[in-house]
Amino acid sequence: MVASPRIVAADPPGIARAAELLCAGKLVAFPTETVYGLGADGFSAAAVERIFRAKGRPAANPLILHVASREMAASVCSAIDEDAARLMERFWPGPLSIVLPRAPGVPAVVSAGLATVAVRMPAHEVALSLVRACGRPLAAPSANSSGRPSPTLARHVLDDLGDRIDAILDGGPCRVGIESTVLDATRRPFRVLRPGGATVEAIEDVLGYRPEPAVDGSLASSPGTRFRHYRPTCRVRIFAPGAPPAPSGRDGVVVIGAPAPPCRLAVSLASPEELARRLYALFREADEAGVETLYVEAPGDEGIGRALRDRLTRAASEED
């Protein structure tokens, strides 16, 4: 197979080319430690609008700005209080997006018209080099088409958006595998809008209190969580540790720390972290293999387990 010309190696010439495209208002997908992002110049309303069109993303769902320094973060929010600054110190670069008051220079379309903006510094050398080469923040949602699982490989981006974007920087598989934690720091107490790669336990360590959980479906919650998400085409069912189902030959089973019963897609993983890393790729593999029902072990609510349970519960929900 000939590689698509849209897939670019994430080496210095590839990153320089990607930065040129972004500065010209184009769309470039790039790797982060969580999932691949679909980047555009965060200061260009026209480029950001292109992201919404390419993904088929509802206009009411705001984007995260990706920065490469604390100074760049300060340039996109109008205030960073002491607690937010301590979270940046502890978690950045890393999988924590912090919602802060939006600076006047940031186009409203980035935040879907909200007075706030989500900001994060990704822990991936390619993402950081790209933002530095552009010299400005990159707006980037996950680089899937809206409603599909987030991409954790360049090929996933190609499958979803290949003909709608200008380049994909290939940085190999994402290390964390599920999206960043989104934390609302514009209200007291702080509130987790979306559990993710940064655990509430670690956030509590810094704040001295546990941030409130999201109020699901409410307007106060992360607008993105109201939309259909994280789901393969096949049916998803979750099961408790130690209670695997008896699958039919057309089903798939994903087990942590034990062998998987024989079936169409039998997967045995070492840990919840490995489940996070592979979950979205397994969703896609299940669809490619024609799996009818994918049974996935839901780990406990501690650490990364909280974010996994959130994604799995949404994937297993019959609602749209």
Binding site residues, ligand TXA, CB under 6 A: 32, 34-35, 37, 61-64, 95, 97, 99, 111, 114, 116-118, 122, 140-142, 179-180, 182, 193-194, 222-225
Q: How far is the CB of 257 from Mg ion (least distance, A)?
A: 29
222 contacts Mg ion (rule: CB under 5 A): no
SS3 160: helix
| DSSP element (H, E) containing 295 | strand 293-297
Q: How far is the CB of 64 from ligand TXA (least distance, A)?
A: 5
Closest CA to 190 of 100, 292, 73: 100
Identity of the residue, 65 or 263, whose beta carbon is nearer to ligand TXA in the bound complex: 65
Where in 129-158 is the site for Mg ion (CB under 5 A)? 142
**What is the closest distance, in whole angstroms, from the C-beta atom of residue 222 to Mg ion in the complex?**
11
Nearer to ligand TXA, 116 or 293 (CB): 116
Comparing CB distances to ligand TXA, the nearer of 6 and 66 is 66
Cα distance between residue 229 and residue 146, in whole Å? 8
Question: Kind and range of the H or E element at 167?
Answer: strand 167-170
- The two structure tokens encoding residue 17: 């080319």
Chosen from Mg ion, ligand TXA, none, partner binding at 35 (C-beta under 5 to 8 Å by type): ligand TXA
- Asked if 225 is part of the footprint of Mg ion (rule: CB under 5 A), the reply reads no
* Residues written for the chain: 320
In whole angstroms, give the CA distance from residue 129 to residue 104.
Answer: 26
What pairs with residue 192 in β-bridges? 183
The identity of residue 158, as a single letter, is L
Q: Which residues of this chain interact with Mg ion, rule CB under 5 A?
A: 142
